[in-house]
Amino acid sequence: MKSLEEKYAEILEENGIKDEIKCVVLRPSGLAGEHFASVTELATIEFKDGGMEPLNLFVKRILPCANSAELDSAEKLMIKEGSFLTTILTDMCQGYT
């Protein structure tokens, strides 16, 4: 089983960040919701070399579900949300960075 650092290193590398991870700290996002199929967390990733500032991420992950219908529905919803967060919301926030 991969460590939390290894999992995040793969995700970051897929997005062009190759710096070595020192640690990953997860904490609850505090968002209200039913959380039947997923949970939201805030992740802070610190890097070993000090060349890159800590990276703060909003993370949504699928919870282990009781049945495959819930899991399938959750995966489809997360794909739609991911598309929204990476395209539409990114475009909307362009002027605020």
pLDDT by 10s per residue, the chain, length 97? 888 899 999 999 998 999 999 999 999 888 777 666 678 889 999 999 877 899 999 888 777 665 666 666 767 777 777 777 777 766 777 766 5
Q: Report pLDDT for 95.
A: 67
Q: Which residues contact 74 (CB under 8 A, 6 or more apart)?
A: 37, 38, 62, 63, 65
Task: Decide: 36 and 20 in contact? Cβ < 8 Å.
Answer: no
Domain ranges, ordered by start, for the chain: 4-96
